[in-house]
Amino acid sequence: MIPFRLIAADLRRHLPGALMIVLLIAAATGLGVAVTLQERALRLGSARAADRFDLVVGAAASETQLVLSSVFLQPSPLPLMPGDVLAKLAADPRAAWVAPVGFGDNFEGYPVVGSATAFITDGGRSAPSEGRSFERMSEAVIGSAVPMPLGALVKPQHGAAGEGGHTHTEFAYTVVGRMAPTGTPWDRAILVPVEGVWRIHGLGHSHEDGDDHDGSDHDHDQDGAPDHAAADHDHEADGHEADGHDAHAADFDAPLSHWDADGPGVPAIIVKARSIADAYRMRQDYRHAPTLAVFPAEVLTRLYATLGDARRVLTLVALGTEALVAASVMLVTVVHLGQRRRELGALRALGASRGVIFGLVWSEILSLIGAGVALGFGIGYVGARLVSGVLESQSGIHLPVVFEPEDLGFALMLLGIAAVIAAVPALLAFRQPPAAALRS
């Protein structure tokens, strides 16, 4: 009934103006969509990154800092827990596996994180995508995003990534495996046995348990190692290599052992509980000083609440922009309608009913707004992808930009408002007496 050719012809005639309106609407819509998508990406991405981390135990300090450091590998000076916590947790029957997290070094900008095989293999349930997990102190497993081949040497540099610092030239890890991508900051990490980190930093020297751990001198299998190893090694002082470090280097090649109660302290421990009930009980047991036990998901939820507030503010800004755009679109269409009065009157004279006139004006405006909203969703998506890309490259957290059913609701709401707005000039046109419109 509505002659759509007329709409097309009118839009073609006013192409620059029509494009302007579409772009205005697209920009306003894109802003709102990008805010929503980005906030969702941060939420989803961080939640997925925290998936592996049932329970994180650290020294009594800031919960948020603990989660940011352990889950997201944000460098920060976390206090250390007493050494016995790790041994106690490792012996806890409620824990499926336990892995310490020790930070401090980096290699070519990639954080070198001390941990344990259990973390890499998820307690034996998975294997590295390439190679194998580390078995000796001198071996390393790299995250999927670390551009190194297996067999490469990692000489850790002291300090967090980007901070600089001296190189532990006398110690080198050999890359023996690569983890599957996880979409977390751990993809950019070089995982080494925590014992290696201790050793490099002159900790973990007191192993008196006579296990096969501390192969002294050049004899790996010797038991009853004397506590000679790292304590006397002043790694802070030397920038040179080789001389006098043979013993350490050999020592460094030792196989891994269990953790002792009198081992060095670690800043954080990841605990995989056997059951949810176990997780809750363990959190209860370890949430008193000197330790702190948190569910990262819980801490993230609190962070999301803050994030949600920020999103609400941004969404309000976006909605305000949309309202301004809506007002200007209404203004433009009413002005345009004034210019079209005679044309619409002529249509009436040619036999168009008022319904056709209403439909003509209404669908033309709605098609402009519809195009703008569609384009805006595209712009918002691309914008969120770009921002996600930048954030991903900085944080290593995969930030998935995805639409959800509620976005359709948002689009329909925008179109619904547009339908009402478009009805205003359409009604004006509807009510216009044709004879008056024709008068020149």
Partner 1 sequence: MPDLVVEALRVSFPGLAAPVLDVPALTVRAGERVAITGPSGSGKSTLVNMLTGLDRPKTGRILWDGTDLATLGEGGRDRWRAGHVGLVMQDFHLFPGLDAFENVLLPARLGRLHVPADLKERARALIARVGLPRPEQAIETLSRGEMQRVAVARALLNRPGILVADEPTASLDAEAGQVVADLLVELAAAEGATLIAVTHDERLAARADRRIALKAGRIVADGPVLPDAAEVRP
Query: Which tokens go with 104?
Result: 């401090």
From 235-243, 251-259, 291-299, 341-349, give the range in contact with partner 1 by CB under 8 A: 341-349
From 147-155, 339-347, 376-384, 410-418, give the range in contact with partner 1 by CB under 8 A: 339-347
Query: Which tokens go with 351?
Result: 């036999």
DSSP 260-314: PTTS---SEEEEEESSHHHHHHHHHHHSSTTEEEE-HHHHHHHHHHHHHHHHHHH
Task: Give backbone dihedrals phi and psi of 128, rounded to 5 degrees, phi first.
Answer: -55, 150
Interface with partner 1 (CB under 8 A), residue from 35, 347, 379, 414? 347
DSSP SS3 for 114: strand
State the pairing for strand pair 95-107/139-142.
unpaired
Query: Which tokens go with 126?
Result: 């998975």
- The least distance separating partner 1 from the CB of residue 349, rounded to whole angstroms, comes to 5
Interface with partner 1 (CB under 8 A), residue from 3, 17, 165, 338? 3
Number of residues that bind partner 1 (CB under 8 A): 28
Q: Cβ distance 296 to 71 under 8 Å?
A: yes
Element (H, E) at 100: strand 95-107
Residue 329, amino acid: V
Interface with partner 1 (CB under 8 A), residue from 342, 407, 419, 424? 342
- The least distance separating partner 1 from the CB of residue 22, rounded to whole angstroms, comes to 18
Interface with partner 1 (CB under 8 A), residue from 10, 84, 209, 253? 10
Interface with partner 1 (CB under 8 A), residue from 336, 348, 385, 398? 348
Contacts of 386 (CB under 8 A, 6+ apart): none
- The least distance separating partner 1 from the CB of residue 344, rounded to whole angstroms, comes to 10
- The least distance separating partner 1 from the CB of residue 3, rounded to whole angstroms, comes to 4
- Residue placing its CB nearer to partner 1 in the complex, 148 or 346: 346
Task: Give backbone dihedrals phi and psi of 58, rounded to 5 degrees, phi first.
Answer: -145, 180
DSSP 158-185: ESSTTT---B-TT--EEEEEEPPP-SSG
- Residue placing its CB nearer to partner 1 in the complex, 8 or 323: 8
Q: Does 16 bind partner 1 (CB under 8 A)?
A: no
Q: Cβ distance 307 to 43 under 8 Å?
A: yes
Binding pattern for the stretch 291-330 against partner 1, x by CB under 8 A and - elsewhere: ----------------------------------------
- The least distance separating partner 1 from the CB of residue 409, rounded to whole angstroms, comes to 31
- The least distance separating partner 1 from the CB of residue 7, rounded to whole angstroms, comes to 10
Contacts of 269 (CB under 8 A, 6+ apart): 56, 57, 58, 81, 85, 86, 89, 98, 99, 100, 101
- The least distance separating partner 1 from the CB of residue 440, rounded to whole angstroms, comes to 6
- The least distance separating partner 1 from the CB of residue 19, rounded to whole angstroms, comes to 16
Instruction: State the Cα angle at 132 between 224 and 51, rounded to 5°.
Output: 105
- The least distance separating partner 1 from the CB of residue 365, rounded to whole angstroms, comes to 17
DSSP SS3 for 88: helix
- The least distance separating partner 1 from the CB of residue 373, rounded to whole angstroms, comes to 25
- Residue placing its CB nearer to partner 1 in the complex, 395 or 432: 432
- Residue placing its CB nearer to partner 1 in the complex, 347 or 401: 347
Q: Cβ distance 153 to 102 under 8 Å?
A: no
Q: Cβ distance 342 to 436 under 8 Å?
A: no
From 112-120, 255-263, 276-284, 343-351, give the range in contact with partner 1 by CB under 8 A: 343-351
Interface with partner 1 (CB under 8 A), residue from 17, 244, 320, 433? 433
Interface with partner 1 (CB under 8 A), residue from 125, 258, 288, 439? 439
Residues 160 and 180: their CA atoms lie apart, in Å, by: 24
Helices then strands, counting H and E runs in the chain, come out as: 12, 11
Interface with partner 1 (CB under 8 A), residue from 349, 402, 408, 420? 349
Q: Cβ distance 42 to 60 under 8 Å?
A: no
Binding pattern for the stretch 350-389 against partner 1, x by CB under 8 A and - elsewhere: xxxxxxx---------------------------------
Provide the binding-site residues for partner 1, judged by CB under 8 A: 1, 3, 5-6, 8-10, 12-13, 342-343, 346-356, 433-435, 438-440
